[in-house]
A = this chain, B = another copy of it.
């Protein structure tokens, strides 16, 4: 397959924290013309200094306003927290921007709703919107923590809504992002939000519950070791960040938390069984096998038609796209090798 060579795209990145700053640097390193903006003057200054020190082939611009940043852009990457997305969309409209927009927010349905409200409001319309979410969190934050290699091997969701999303826009973005080493995962906003509720948001709530259940026992704090340390690590995250993430996805987090509560009630019944060791062993076995097989090894790369149904089926099977053909009619797709069901 001859892959799409996407170069010299004019990209504007709004929000230069860990993710936005890393997107800026990764795209600049890939040969695109990138400009960036952050509402915080200190962040802008840091990003500007870093640009001056970067290799001449991988520099970016930092501009003092959103309007300047998007003036020549064909693509805007929104890398601001969810509460700021609506305001920035309004600033884009005020600046007369009518190109393609993507974002990197960790919840996709609310962003989709915000965009839909504005797309239907005359007179300005965005040319297109494709929701995105690179799964590349880190303990650190801020432009100082950015890394152009942050996305190598990481899953990067690009939302594909059967009715709303232009296939051409989706492929354009996939062709831009796959050269960064990301595994582009096609899925809908709703399916994304359900999946991250289960594997990202609910784990934060479990970690907090585990801490709170023993927080008043100093002896427990002294005897706590590896399983407590790992199981509660993310509970130290700032509570407003976890609350925004879980509360912003409440519709999906509720059922995902119910599923864990159901599983724990089964465990509780096993503890009360006549032979708790045997009952717990039976309850634990499937999870132990599933965790032992995770993360799943990538299967063989295959060509796949660049069609909505095929791509969404790929995403549902846990697969991802690693390249887009030059003619945009096929993509290179990889499915994970999952163990055969017991």
**A residues within 8 Å of B by Cβ?**
135-137, 154-155, 157, 183, 185, 187, 191-192, 194-196, 198-200, 202-215, 217-228, 230-240, 242-244, 246-248, 250, 253-254, 256-265, 267-268, 270-272, 275-281, 283-288, 290-292, 294-296, 315-320, 336, 338
Chain B residue at minimal CB-CB distance from A207 = B231
CB <8 Å contact, B257 and A290 = no
The answer, among B224, B236, B288, B317, for a CB contact under 8 Å with A199, is B224
Pick 12 A–B contacts, CB within 8 A, sort by A. Answer: A185-B219, A199-B214, A199-B228, A203-B210, A203-B227, A203-B232, A208-B263, A221-B336, A235-B288, A239-B284, A239-B285, A247-B277
Q: Which residues of B contact A280 (CB under 8 A)?
A: 239, 242-243, 246-247
Residue of B nearest to A187 (CB): B219
For A138, give the chain B residue with the smallest CB separation: B226
Within 8 Å CB of A223, what residues of B? 135, 155, 157, 185, 192, 195-196, 199-200
Chain B residues with CB under 8 Å of A226's CB are 137, 234
The docked-state distance in angstroms from the alpha carbon of A206 to that of B211 is 12
Measured in the bound complex, the distance between the Cα atoms of B232 and A45 in whole Å is 40
Beta-carbon nearest neighbor of A220 in chain B = B195
Are B222 and A336 in contact, CB atoms less than 8 angstroms apart? yes
A238 to chain B, nearest CB (A): 7
C-alpha gap A264/B319 in the complex (Å):
32
Report B-chain residues with C-beta under 8 Å of the C-beta of A336. 218, 221-222
A260 to chain B minimum Cβ distance, whole angstroms, is: 5
Complex CA–CA separation, A245 to B205 (angstroms): 25
Contact B247 A208 (CB under 8 A): no
In this complex, what residue of B is CB-closest to A244? B277
Given contacts A209-B260, A315-B219, contact A230 B234 (CB under 8 A): yes
Q: Output the nearest chain B residue to A191 by Cβ-Cβ distance.
A: B219
